Amino acid sequence: MEQFYQYIQDTRPKDKKVYLFFDEVQLINGWEKAINSFRVDFPCDIYITGSNASSLSSEFATLLAGRYVEIKVYP
């Protein structure tokens, strides 16, 4: 998780709002802590997608409660 956070912190533009797009982020251990840190530490909009909807959905409900909008996409 620390490497993930540090990479984003080091490569983002420091003087403007950042739009972060993550796909399959649930594959990174501790991703939820990094996402919460991004949200608090610098101005950004965060978009997360993943194919494992049940895993993402339950984790979002617990970890990001009140701070996300879920959009279900069907094939």
Name the CA radius of gyration of the chain, rounded.
13
Phi, psi at residue 48, to the nearest 5°? Answer: -125, 130
Whether residue 69 lies inside any domain: the answer is no
pLDDT digit string (tens) for 36-60? 889 889 999 998 887 765 555 555 5
Distances (CA, A) of 10 to 64, 71, 74, 75: 24, 30, 36, 36
Whether residue 57 lies inside any domain: the answer is yes
Rounded to the nearest angstrom, the gap between the alpha carbon of residue 49 and the centroid of all alpha carbons in its chain is 9
Range of the domain at 51: 2-63
- Looking at the structure of the chain, the number of domains it has is 1
* pTM for this predicted structure: 0.72
Residue 17 has pLDDT above 90, yes or no: yes
Whether residue 75 lies inside any domain: the answer is no
